[in-house]
């Protein structure tokens, strides 16, 4: 069948997408330390190369992979984990794959490609084993506890102390002490459970997540003078952390974003508002003026 210029241009775009994904999967396979993950990634890469070959048989033209996308998704995968990077890439290609059906009569093999993209490939991706996703629960524990506890503490300290540096000092001491406490609790909890998780690694993930959150939340109090501006920036930072982490989980683990975000945001802001009120009452009751 003779292709129109428009049809050929569309098939060439699909062809470039497949060969680009082939390159991404091959790069990730080469950088994977796990033999099992490497085999899975290489298998998907071969599948993508076969898809590109099918398109080439119709376009009769070779295309180069999109170098920007290759490096973008490779770096995203290296920084945030290959499961996140791969699923983010696949989500970005869903619209293109949905349009494959428009050419199903022209390219009969597209039915096979669509099936492999939606079923076989998804099943292979779910077989990938990544350490950071196994310890997601520990990270959630550290983040959630730090967000709820420290936003509340900073809100209460803001009204009680009325001094940015004092709030930063008190918040830092409280946060770091709590981080070590949470890490120790996670170690004991994981050790007592019958899981494949390493107790030391679980405690480290929890402690690091907690400390990073503490540092971000107290940052405004170190560089701004207005106590209420600092509190507002801290609450905004808390919402951004919640949004960013829940977006990561929603992509990497195919979980709903909206419900998780609203739940965590509601808890953190509610505790902050309650603590702010307690700080006001304590300041008034004791008659403290700093």
Which pLDDT score, from 0 to 100, does residue 125 have?
67
> What stretch of H or E contains 197?
none
Residues 18 and 172: their CA atoms lie apart, in Å, by 49
Which tokens sit at 248? 């990561």
What are 172-215's pLDDT values in tens digits? 888 888 888 888 888 888 888 767 678 888 888 888 888 988 89
Which pLDDT score, from 0 to 100, does residue 102 have?
66
CB half-sphere exposure, 115, CA atoms < 13 A: 6
Own/partner contacts of 120-128, CB < 8 Å, gap of 24 or more, are: 120/47, 121/44, 121/47, 121/90, 122/90, 124/40, 124/43, 124/44, 125/40, 125/44, 125/83, 125/86, 125/87, 125/90, 127/36, 127/40, 128/37, 128/40, 128/41, 128/82, 128/83, 128/86
Which three-class secondary structure state does DSSP give residue 81? coil
Which pLDDT score, from 0 to 100, does residue 93 have?
66
> Is 249 exposed, middle or buried, given 0-12, 13-18 or 19+ CB atoms closer than 10 A?
buried
pLDDT band of 1, cuts 50, 70, 90: low
CB half-sphere exposure, 24, CA atoms < 13 A: 29
> What stretch of H or E contains 111?
helix 110-115
Q: Has residue 87 got a pLDDT over 60?
A: yes
End-to-end CA distance of the chain: 84
Mean pLDDT, residues 15-31 = 90
DSSP state of 196: S
Which pLDDT score, from 0 to 100, does residue 23 have?
93
Which pLDDT score, from 0 to 100, does residue 90 have?
76
Which pLDDT score, from 0 to 100, does residue 149 have?
79
Mean pLDDT, residues 46-62 = 89
- DSSP tally for the chain: helices H, then strands E: 13, 0
- Which residues, 6 or more positions from 60, have their beta carbon under 8 angstroms from its beta carbon? none
Whether the model clears a pTM of 0.75, i.e. scores above it, the answer is no
Mean pLDDT, residues 4-11 = 81
Q: How many CB atoms lie within 10 A of CB 193?
A: 11
Mean pLDDT, residues 48-52 = 89
Which pLDDT score, from 0 to 100, does residue 120 have?
57
Please state, rounded to an integer, the average pLDDT across all residues of the chain.
80
Which pLDDT score, from 0 to 100, does residue 246 have?
83
What are 221-243's pLDDT values in tens digits? 988 888 889 988 988 998 888 88
Backbone φ, ψ for residue 226 (5° rounding): -80, 120
Candidates 65, 64, 59; CA nearest to 24 is 65
Which pLDDT score, from 0 to 100, does residue 220 have?
92
What are 116-164's pLDDT values in tens digits? 766 656 666 666 666 666 777 777 777 777 887 788 788 778 777 778 8
Query: Which percentage of the chain shows pLDDT scores above 70?
Result: 82
């Amino acid at each position: 069948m003779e292709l129109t210029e428009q049809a050929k241009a569309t098939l060439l775009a699909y062809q470039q997408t497949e060969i680009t994904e082939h390159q991404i999967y091959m790069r990730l396979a080469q950088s994977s330390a796990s033999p099992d993950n490497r085999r899975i990634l290489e298998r998907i890469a071969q599948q993508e190369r076969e898809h590109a070959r099918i398109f080439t048989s119709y376009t009769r033209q070779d295309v180069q992979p999109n170098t920007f996308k290759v490096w973008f998704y490779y770096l995203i995968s290296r920084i945030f984990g290959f499961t996140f990077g791969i699923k983010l890439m696949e989500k970005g290609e869903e619209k293109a794959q949905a349009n494959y059906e428009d050419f199903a009569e022209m390219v009969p093999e597209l039915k096979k490609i669509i099936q492999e993209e939606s079923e076989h490939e998804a099943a292979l991706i779910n077989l990938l084993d990544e350490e950071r996703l196994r310890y997601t629960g520990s990270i959630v524990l550290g983040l959630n506890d730090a967000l709820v506890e420290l936003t509340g503490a900073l809100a209460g300290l803001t009204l009680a102390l009325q001094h940015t540096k004092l709030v930063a000092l008190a918040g830092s001491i409280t946060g770091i002490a709590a981080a070590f406490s949470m890490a120790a609790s996670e170690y004991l909890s994981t050790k007592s459970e019958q899981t494949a998780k390493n107790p030391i690694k679980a405690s480290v993930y929890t402690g690091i997540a907690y400390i990073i959150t503490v540092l971000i939340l107290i940052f405004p109090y170190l560089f701004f003078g207005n106590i209420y501006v600092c509190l507002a920036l801290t609450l905004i930072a808390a919402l951004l952390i919640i949004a960013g982490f829940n977006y990561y989980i929603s992509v990497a683990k195919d979980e709903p974003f909206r419900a998780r975000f609203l739940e965590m945001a509601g808890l953190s802001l509610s505790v902050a508002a309650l603590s702010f009120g307690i700080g006001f009452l304590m300041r008034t009751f004791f008659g403290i003026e700093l």
